[in-house]
Chain A
Amino acid sequence: MAKKRIGGYAGIWTDEHLVVEAARKVHSMGFSKFDAISPYPIHGMEEACGIKRSMIPYVTFGAGTFGLLGGLWFTWWTSAVNWPINVGGKPFFSLPAFIPIIFELTILFAALSSVGALFVLCKLPQVDPPVIDPDLTSHKFAIFIPENDMGYDETKLDQLFKSMGAIETKKVAEF
């Protein structure tokens, strides 16, 4: 990727309770672009970081509705309008026979759009922030504050992280 990932300052913890507390503190101080990194989901973390509900469910619902109506229209148009064929003496527009198709299209559109929306909202495949510590995928937790966040000050952050029980703090350079 040609685009530069933004650098910042990170604190590293080995206790999940402390990192949740730290996230809550950082959030209450007004930082809004920070990220908490953990090898597994932590209960209460999304609330501590002040993360609002994702909009993916609405995308899913909208795309599912589109698939439903689109499937209904398409089966009607192909079987009753554009190329009517008598199948077993049933009416051209036989809803029971079309429901599986409509259902599958609903699911297909809903599922693919959800995945698509996830990629867009998470800005995948770009990984941000850069790798801070390889142990963050096994037993350590981190809070990363990018340097473009409001009130970014490395010395203050260093003190803050240490006072919240961080075992290590480090500057993460942009790359």
Chain B
Amino acid sequence: MAGSQHKLELKVEKFVASANLKTAMWVLIALGVLSFIIGLRSPERLWPAYLTAFFYFSCLGLGGLFFTAIQHIAKAGWSTSIRRLSESMTSFIPYILVTGLILLIGMHYLFPWANEEVVKSVPLVAAKTGYLNVGFFAVRLLLFCVGWLAFRYFIVGNSLKQDQSGDVNLTHKNVGLSVGFILFFSISFTLFSMDLLMSLLPTWYSTIFGIYTFAGLFQSSLAFLALMIIFMQRSNFVKGYITVEHLHDVVKFLKGFTVFWAYIAFSQYMLIWYANIPEETEYYLMRSQNSGWIMISMALLIFRFIVPFLALLPRGLKRNENHVILVSSLILIMQYVDIYWMVYPNFFHGHVTFGFIEVGMFAGFAGMFLYSVSSFLSKNSIVAIKDPRLHEAVNHHVTY
């Protein structure tokens, strides 16, 4: 390599969560528990908020594993030094199982098809009870969580084992496992989002819905990954392994999937708008007739696509940490707005409802997510230190 790159300083230390971070985590979790207890007194208010926050953080957890898997499949060298960060996001997956089981308690408040009266009075819903019934729903949820946990156990486990042994075969093994995960993920996540979000309005259907939620999942996961990279660069735990070059490439990914989200969102909208079939237009009518919802729909277009797209276009801004923090935070907020936009028009007679319960549930899940991520990072090395492709990541250099 060129002369200036010879004096690279490389350092990895153990990650220790700062006192502020720990306090913030516990405050968030306490806020979540508090609002859950308060919310139990008005369950029809609590469960939509719970579902929104649950889906949001499930997406981040799964997005971490998806990113890890595509890096293994592509045999990517550049990303080996940041792969552990995306692996740390997967540590939320066990929480998906636990919080998903809690969600089963509130099913009757959420899903019309879980109500006897609705099923009896609406033949269209009754016809779908072969798939949409409480028992099968619970089995599916359990099956997906167990599958994700198993893939996480092997893929992340192999990577952690390699930290000790340095065995190259573990890298080869992860390629096959990742292919398996992506196949399983594509089916399971499609059905997961259909079960949790699409079936809130059981008479409506969209065949692209799973891809739409996936686009949001990956965009928000990359935004969180970019924030973690900046956090690690600014902290003193790691030097030389995680650089602005990695940030640049992750932000390129982020920009790409910002476009992908818009592409999928528009594809869903345009076909429904053009065909103009009542079963399908129902969904967009609910989100455009009320003045509050039309504003939120437009906000999604502007702040989830147009603003981040233009803001991430120039090269210099992709390498500007403060700028990336702003844009990533905007995308993470808009991911919440997007899930809120999918869930809430089905409740409260179509009125826009947002308050303490929504904030509290989000805070609770955020606290759990941060706790799982930071405890994973403090237990394991921040960098996959014996990965055979690590030298490629250390010398990674984005050309013009």
Real binding pair? yes
A48 to B3, CA, bound (A): 10
Residues of A within 8 A of B315 (CB): 53, 57
Residues of A within 8 A of B276 (CB): 88
| A interface: dominant SS | helix
Q: Does A155 lie at the interface of the complex (its beta carbon under 8 Å from any beta carbon of B)? A: no
Residues of A within 8 A of B5 (CB): 44
A96 touches B274 (CB 8 A): yes
Q: Does B139 lie at the interface of the complex (its beta carbon under 8 Å from any beta carbon of A)? A: no
Q: Which of B16-24, B27-35, B265-273 contacts A (4 or more CB under 8 A)?
A: B265-273
Tell me the smallest distance from the CB of A41 to a CB of chain B, in Å: 7
A57 to B317, CA, bound (A): 14
A97 to B315, CA, bound (A): 32
Per the CB 8 Å criterion, the residue count for chain A at the interface is 19
- Please tell me the size bucket of the interface on B: 10 to 19
Given A88-B276, A97-B270, A43 contacting B399 (CB threshold 8 A): yes
The residues in B between 295 and 334 inclusive whose CB is less than 8 angstroms from any CB of A are 313, 315
Residues of B within 8 A of A88 (CB): 274, 276
- With beta carbons under 8 angstroms apart, the residue of B1, B266, B399 that contacts A41 is B399
B2 touches A53 (CB 8 A): no
B270 touches A17 (CB 8 A): no
A46 touches B400 (CB 8 A): yes
The residues in A between 65 and 124 inclusive whose CB is less than 8 angstroms from any CB of B are 88, 96-97, 99-100
A20 to B397, CA, bound (A): 15
Tell me the smallest distance from the CB of A17 to a CB of chain B, in Å: 7
- With beta carbons under 8 angstroms apart, the residue of B1, B274, B313 that contacts A17 is B1
Tell me the smallest distance from the CB of A131 to a CB of chain B, in Å: 26
Q: Does A138 lie at the interface of the complex (its beta carbon under 8 Å from any beta carbon of B)? A: no
Residues of A within 8 A of B2 (CB): 17, 20-21, 24, 43-44, 47-48
In chain B, what residue has the closest Cβ to A21?
Answer: B3
- With beta carbons under 8 angstroms apart, the residue of A21, A41, A96, A100 that contacts B269 is A96
In chain A, what residue has the closest Cβ to B2?
Answer: A44
3 interchain residue pairs of minimum CB distance: A44-B2, A96-B270, A53-B400
5 interchain pairs, CB-CB under 8 A: A17-B2, A43-B397, A61-B313, A97-B270, A99-B266
